[in-house]
A and B are shown apart, each in its own frame.
Chain A
Amino acid sequence: MKKRIFSMLLASAMVFGLVACGSNTDTATTGDAATGGDTTEQTTAAADGSVLNIYCWNEEFKSRVTDHYPGYEATGDNEGKIGDVTVKWNITPNENNAYQNNLDENLLKQADAAANDKIDLFLVEADYALKYVDTDYTMPVADLGITEDELANQYKYTQDVMTDSNGVLKGLSWQGCPGTFIYNREAAKEVLGSDDPADVQAAVSDWNKFADTASKMQAAGYKMTATANDSYRVFSNNVSGQWVQDGKVVVDDNIKNWVEMSKKMVDAGQTGTQDLWGDDWNKGFYPDGKVFSYFGPAWLINFCMAADQEGSIANQGGWGACEGPQGFFWGGTWICAAAGTDNADLVADIMRQLTTNEDVMLDIVKKDSDFVNNKPAMEKCAEDDSYAFDVFGGQNPIAMYCAGAEKIDLSNQGAYDQGCNEEFQKAMKNYFDGNATYDEAIEQFNKAIVEKYPELTTE
Chain B
Amino acid sequence: MDTMNYKASRGMNIHARRIISYVVLVILTVLCLIWFYILMINATRSHGEMTRGFTPFPSTHLIENLHNVMHGTLPIAAGMRNSIFVSVCCAILCTYFSTMTAYAVHVYDFKLKKFMATFILAVMMIPGQVTALGFLRLIDRIGMDDSLTPLIIPSIASPIVYFYMKQYMESNLPSSLIEAARIDGSNEFKTFNWICVPLMKPAIAVQAIFTFVSTWNNYFTPALVLHTDTKKTLPVLIAQLRSADFLKFDMGQVYAMIAFSIFPVIVVYLLLSKYIVGGVTAGGVKG
**Contact of A149 with B by CB under 8 A:** no
> Do A95 and B121 form a contact, CB below 8 Å, given A27-B141, A77-B71, A312-B48?
no
For A9-40 the 0/1 string (1 means CB < 8 A from B) is 10010000000100010110010000000000
Q: Are B229 and A90 in contact (CB under 8 A)?
A: yes
Taking a contact as CB atoms closer than 8 A, the residue among B121, B122, B251 that contacts A279 in the complex is B251
Query: Of residues 85 to 127 in A, which have CB atoms within 8 Å of B's CB atoms?
Result: 90-96, 98, 102, 105
A interface secondary structure, majority: helix
Bound complex: CA of A95 vs CA of B229, how far in Å? 15
Q: Decide if A306 touches B227 in the complex (CB within 8 Å).
A: no
Are A282 and B249 touching (Cβ within 8 A)?
Answer: yes
Q: Which listed residue, B51, B71, B118, touches A288 by the CB 8 Å rule?
A: B51
Contact B48 A310 (CB under 8 A): yes
**Residue contact A5 to B251, C-beta cutoff 8 Å:** no
Are A309 and B48 in contact, with the CB atoms below 8 A? Answer: yes
Q: Are B249 and A9 in contact (CB under 8 A)?
A: no
- Which residues in A have their C-beta under 8 angstroms from that of B244? 93
Interface size on B, residues (CB 8 A): 32
A12 adjacent to B119 (CB under 8 Å) = yes
Q: How far is the CB of B8 from the nearest CB of chain A, in Å? A: 47
Q: Are A58 and B245 in contact (CB under 8 A)?
A: yes
Cross-chain contact of B118 among A8, A26, A57, A91 (Cβ < 8 A) = A8
Contacts of A312 in B (CB 8 A): 48
Q: Are B248 and A304 in contact (CB under 8 A)?
A: no
A226 and B75 alpha carbons, distance in the complex (Å): 31
A401 to B118 Cα, complex, angstroms: 72
Chain A residues, CB < 8 A from B119: 8, 12
Complex: A30 Cα to B254 Cα, angstroms: 42
Within 8 A of A (CB), among B179-224: none
A300 to B150, CA, bound (A): 41
B51 near A289: Cβ-Cβ < 8 Å: yes
Find out whether the CB atom of B52 lies under 8 angstroms from the CB atom of A288: yes
- Hey, what's the 0/1 contact readout for A293-308 against B, CB within 8 Å counting as 1? 0000000000110100
Complex CA gap A92/B244 in Å reads 8
- Are B73 and A30 in contact, CB atoms less than 8 angstroms apart? no
* Total of A-B residue pairs, C-beta within 8 Å: 79
How many chain A residues touch B (Cβ–Cβ < 8 Å)?
41
Q: B129 to chain A: closest CB distance in Å? A: 16
- B48 x A59 contact (CB < 8 A): no
Give the contacting residue for A278; candidates B71, B73, B122, B248; CB below 8 A: B248
Distance to closest chain A CB from B29 (angstroms) = 29
Residues from chain B with a CB closer than 8 A to the CB of A432 are: none
Kindly report which residue of chain B lies nearest to residue A8, judged by CB atoms. B122
Q: How far is the CA of A8 from the CA of B126 in the complex (A)?
A: 13
Main SS of the interface on chain B? helix
Nearest CB in chain A: distance from B190 CB, A: 34
CB A175 to nearest CB in B, in angstroms, measures 16
Contacts of A58 in B (CB 8 A): 73, 245-246
Instruction: Say which residue of B47, B227, B240 sits within 8 Å of A105 (CB atoms).
Output: B227
Are A309 and B47 within 8 A (Cβ)? yes
Within 8 A of B (CB), among A310-335: 310-312
**A78 and B75 within 8 A (CB):** yes
Assess A95 versus B249: contact at CB under 8 Å? Given A6-B122, A9-B122, A9-B123: no
The CB with the most chain B CB atoms within 10 A, among A93, A94, A309, is that of A93
Instruction: Flag whether B7 is at the interface (Cβ < 8 A).
Output: no
> In the complex, A90 Cα to B72 Cα: how many Å?
13
The verdict on A283 contacting chain B, using a C-beta distance below 8 Å, is yes
> B246 touching A59 by the CB < 8 A rule?
yes
Nearest Cβ on chain A to B249's Cβ, whole angstroms = 6
B48 touches A95 (CB 8 A): no
Contact across chains for B125 and A9 when beta carbons are under 8 A apart: yes
**A9-B123, A90-B228, A309-B48 known; A95 vs B245 contact (CB < 8 Å):** yes
Q: Does A416 contact B (CB under 8 A)?
A: no
For residues 239 through 265 of chain B, which have their beta carbon under 8 Å from a beta carbon of chain A? 240, 243-246, 248-251, 254
Q: How far is the CB of B128 from chain A (nearest CB, A)?
A: 15
Judge whether B167 is part of the interface by a CB distance below 8 angstroms: no
The answer to the question of A292 belonging to the interface, with a C-beta cut-off of 8 Å to chain B, is no
Give CA–CA (A98, B244) in the complex, Å.
10
Q: Which residues of A contact B141 (CB under 8 A)?
A: 26-27, 30
Contact mask for chain A residues 391-424; partner B; CB cutoff 8 A; 1 contact, 0 none: 0000000000000000000000000000000000
Residues of B within 8 A of A78 (CB): 75, 229-230
Cα distance, A32 to B64, chains bound together (Å):
50
Q: Which residue of A lies closest to B241 (CB)?
A: A93
- Asked if B113 CB lies within 8 Å of chain A CBs, one says no
CB of B137 within 8 Å of the partner chain: yes
Contact in complex: B228, A4 (CB < 8 Å): no
Q: Quote the shortest CB–CB distance from B67 to chain A (angstroms).
A: 12
Least CB separation from A105: chain B residue: B227
User: Which of B244, B246, B249 has most A Cβ within 10 Å?
Assistant: B249
Q: How far is the CB of B52 from chain A (nearest CB, A)?
A: 6
User: How far does the alpha carbon of A279 sit from the alpha carbon of B248 in the complex, in Å?
Assistant: 7
Residues of B within 8 A of A26 (CB): 141
Whether B245 and A93, one on each chain, are in contact in the complex, defined by CB atoms closer than 8 angstroms, is yes
Instruction: State in angstroms the CA–CA spacing of A98 and B243 once bound together.
Output: 10
Residues 266-303 of chain A, each 1 if its beta carbon lies under 8 Å from chain B, else 0: 00000000000111001100101100000000000001
Contact B51 A283 (CB under 8 A): yes
The distance from the CB of A316 to the nearest CB of chain B, in whole angstroms, is 12
A95 touching B243 by the CB < 8 A rule?
A: yes
Chain B residues with CB below 8 A from A286, complex form: 48, 51
Residues of B within 8 A of A30 (CB): 141
Which residues of B lie under 8 Å from residue A59 when comparing CB positions? 73, 246
A304: which B residues are within 8 A, CB to CB? Answer: 246, 249
Q: Using a CB-CB cutoff of 8 Å, which residues 45-59 of chain A contact chain B? A: 57-59
- The 5 lowest CB-CB distance pairs between A and B, nearest first, are A95-B243, A5-B122, A311-B48, A9-B122, A286-B51
- A/B interface sample: 25 pairs, CB < 8 A: A4-B118, A5-B121, A5-B122, A8-B122, A9-B123, A9-B126, A12-B122, A24-B137, A27-B137, A58-B73, A58-B246, A77-B75, A78-B229, A91-B73, A91-B229, A92-B229, A93-B243, A93-B244, A95-B243, A277-B248, A278-B248, A282-B249, A286-B48, A306-B249, A311-B48
